[in-house]
Chains A and B, each alone.
Chain A
């Protein structure tokens, strides 16, 4: 069981807005920034959001991140079929002295 809790699955229809949550503690999300990664089937993870809400160059503004207290969220608006992927949150953890990943959320576009 991951220190960062994510729902195992999420779904939406094309054009919809979906959110994926990531719940942690004061030792990780509450004290450090959150990053999100997108992993398409059979490929390496790709940085999607860093420092809670920053998008790397090339990531569409349909993707946004937010954080409040010990929880973070990834929002995807205008859902597209190519968004079907696994999404992971990650943060530094003070007690583990290392990086922790959430368990991942599989997004299905219906």
Chain B
């Protein structure tokens, strides 16, 4: 059974750095083509993709946030860590991690087939 679970602080202060951990089971991020991504959703708003890390350590970031984001993986612990610097109240959102299985064709967008339950992060002083 594949599961993903996000963990991290529920409250951060403006200008602080947010560190979120995605702990997963039932698959290996070392498997060829496997990826894990982060997506967030401000209250009452749409989904916004943040970052993606591939099995071979390739990394992709949202253009609008790339200067503030970093992503890493710990294969032995089955974890993916997202870091976001200089947090602001507009970053208040539920943060999800999700698995992206291997793409078949180069024209595949790739899809997130399994998601964590999400963790709400509030940015406030």
Chain A residues near B (Cβ < 8 Å): 2, 31-35, 37, 39, 43-47, 50-51, 56, 88, 90-92, 96-104
Residue from the list B108, B110, B113, B118 in contact with A56, Cβ < 8 A: B113
| A34 to chain B: closest residue by CB | B109
Cβ–Cβ contact B109 & A35, under 8 A: yes
B107 interface hit (Cβ, 8 Å): yes
As a 0/1 sequence over residues 82 to 125 of chain B, the CB contacts with chain A under 8 angstroms (1 = contact) are 00000000000000100000001001111111111110000000
Residue from the list B47, B60, B62 in contact with A104, Cβ < 8 A: B47
Cβ–Cβ contact A44 & B109, under 8 A: no
Cβ–Cβ contact B110 & A99, under 8 A: yes
- Bound-state CA distance A34–B111 (Å) is 9
B52 interface hit (Cβ, 8 Å): yes
Cβ–Cβ contact A44 & B62, under 8 A: no
Cβ–Cβ contact A98 & B63, under 8 A: yes
B55 interface hit (Cβ, 8 Å): no
Residue from the list B46, B52, B104, B116 in contact with A101, Cβ < 8 A: B46
B28 CB to closest chain A CB (Å) equals 20
Q: What chain A residues lie within 8 Å of B47 (beta carbons)?
A: 37, 39, 45, 88, 90, 101, 104
Cβ–Cβ contact B37 & A99, under 8 A: yes
Residue from the list A31, A34, A45, A104 in contact with B96, Cβ < 8 A: A45
